[in-house]
Structure 1
């Protein structure tokens, strides 16, 4: 197994969209894990990579017909290897959460992992699929918050974004109905509005939060509007890619509003990197 094959399996560029979930939760809750707050983004990343590997394991028969170039149907990676990668990364994430945050973090980490595995193995092809994935990302925000209620609104914003992107992504191969694009645009608008209207720690934080939310809404919303007007497979696939990367802007808006402008800036810097890396390895 080559490193490039493994990177394709786990959609490596897209992992840059994961740390912001727990950072948004931590910022909203006042950094409950203290000096160990760094560990929660690592946990989020482990779960994200595990979910991507498990996705390909679960879809290996479907991909053999629709996406034969992927690592499993092309024979570059064996199914049992993909499953082992998913299990290993999930175990690592749970272990890091327990070691760094104790029982509190462990109680928050297990639902994230459970939702991700449920999505890939049970609900992905059902009507409950997008909601299950949204639940996973919302719980990931609460992971950073140690389960504190202050992060409920940020968690709902990230979950709303995920719901729309996941629903639209179902049309990546065969195209989608126009309503999928409009629905995704609606969830993006709701998420951006929520991020912009959250209580702010200062005028400077409010301005930064609104600016990030507006940038997110324009970037992601424009691509989703194109997909609604022209819902062919290539346009939907492009909008999905923008949506996957675009959550970084939403995360930055949520973090900036708490006054953690340095963290928000660091998140935004990951956007161009993810976009450049996506030219080498597809994030979807």
Structure 2
């Protein structure tokens, strides 16, 4: 059990629940229903994500010996060679699964794998680090579109939104052990507000998009005000989409705003290491409602609900194993 827990900590297993939504939301963003090839994309994403987790701790083992001596590698519960071997095997498995899904999927998975390795081995501690992580999440979203339809370009707008969220979370995470500055969580807070507005508005061509003003809607406006902590409510837009599809979008956007915004606000007010770490955890967990909102924005309510159902499961296991 002790060895199993060590691997669960190394691979950050609760974070795995943030992965399937990438491919699922990417598939519907390309205008298709998830199919068997989408499942291959999800399998590929899971393998590449976990490869990145194992490689991350292998690359940071000297740093973790000072700042996080309880982690599996510096504590001696897992050998560095085992972590590196796992990273290699998981990368190979991820690329192989993408190849099974077709050439378009492989064409996305290959640069995704390269980005994961480049981030962990070279870019993490450079100014390019957050952008590399954002690119990886965006490519993972495109992987679902490429595997399902062979047309990943159609998912580029939603990939950019998902990548922006990841950029914000990663920027905050660079200070999670030191804290000391309010600027990253404040920037992440602003990004969350913008993303909430965009995903709640709906994509062009979805139900209710032709409403005058194309506003966020009262539910999302309230979520921004209460979840992000501005303390004020902005006026409700005329012509808000009150259809079932529009209500689902705004509800999921509100969930995203609350999940990410509250811990960002706390970290901005008190940028201590514990609150900064909570902000990172909140940002990671918020990936799921954001993916669900993107699926709803693309007009697939069932896929959105399926993605959203992963949130409480991930939250349950995050109480047992740290997500960061």
TM-score range (shorter-chain normalised) is: over 0.9
Task: Give the 5 Å matches for 1:134-283.
Answer: 134-146=134-146, 147-197=151-201, 198-199=203-204, 201-202=206-207, 203-283=243-323
Deviations 1:28-74 (A, max 9, x none): 10238743222111111111111111100000000000000000000
State the secondary structure of the residue aligned to 2:183. helix
Separation (CA, whole Å) in 2 of partners of 1:109 and 1:33: 18
Contact 2:28 2:34 in 1 (8 A): no
Contact 1:130 1:166 in 2 (8 A): yes
Contact 2:259 2:285 in 1 (8 A): no
Separation (CA, whole Å) in 1 of partners of 2:62 and 2:89: 23
Number of residue pairs the alignment of both structures matches: 283
Indicate the residue corresponding to 1:64 in structure 2: 65
Indicate the residue corresponding to 2:54 in structure 1: 53
Separation (CA, whole Å) in 1 of partners of 2:152 and 2:37: 16
Separation (CA, whole Å) in 2 of partners of 1:52 and 1:42: 16
How far the C-alpha of 1:251 sits from its partner, in A, is: 0.2
RMSD: 1.5
Separation (CA, whole Å) in 1 of partners of 2:259 and 2:196: 11
State the secondary structure of the residue aligned to 1:231. coil
Q: Which moved more, 1:24-33 or 1:157-166?
A: 24-33
Could you state the TM-score of these two structures normalised by the residue count of structure 2?
0.84
Contact 2:29 2:155 in 1 (8 A): yes
Separation (CA, whole Å) in 2 of partners of 1:246 and 1:183: 16
How far the C-alpha of 1:260 sits from its partner, in A, is: 2.1
Q: Any gaps of 5 or more consecutive residues in structure 2?
A: 208-242
Contact 1:32 1:145 in 2 (8 A): no
Separation (CA, whole Å) in 1 of partners of 2:296 and 2:12: 27
1:44 and 1:262, CA in 2 relative to 1: closer, same or farther beyond 3 A? same
State the secondary structure of the residue aligned to 2:82. helix
Separation (CA, whole Å) in 1 of partners of 2:270 and 2:283: 16
1:200 and 1:6, CA in 2 relative to 1: closer, same or farther beyond 3 A? farther
Indicate the residue corresponding to 2:90 in structure 1: 89
Q: Any gaps of 5 or more consecutive residues in structure 1?
A: none
Indicate the residue corresponding to 2:5 in structure 1: 4
Indicate the residue corresponding to 1:41 in structure 2: 42
Contact 1:185 1:224 in 2 (8 A): yes
Separation (CA, whole Å) in 1 of partners of 2:129 and 2:36: 36
Deviations 1:84-133 (A, max 9, x none): 1111111111100101x211110011111111111100010111111110
Deviations 1:1-29 (A, max 9, x none): 82111111100010100111111111110
Indicate the residue corresponding to 1:123 in structure 2: 123
Query: Higher helix share goes to which structure?
Result: 1
Contact 1:58 1:121 in 2 (8 A): yes
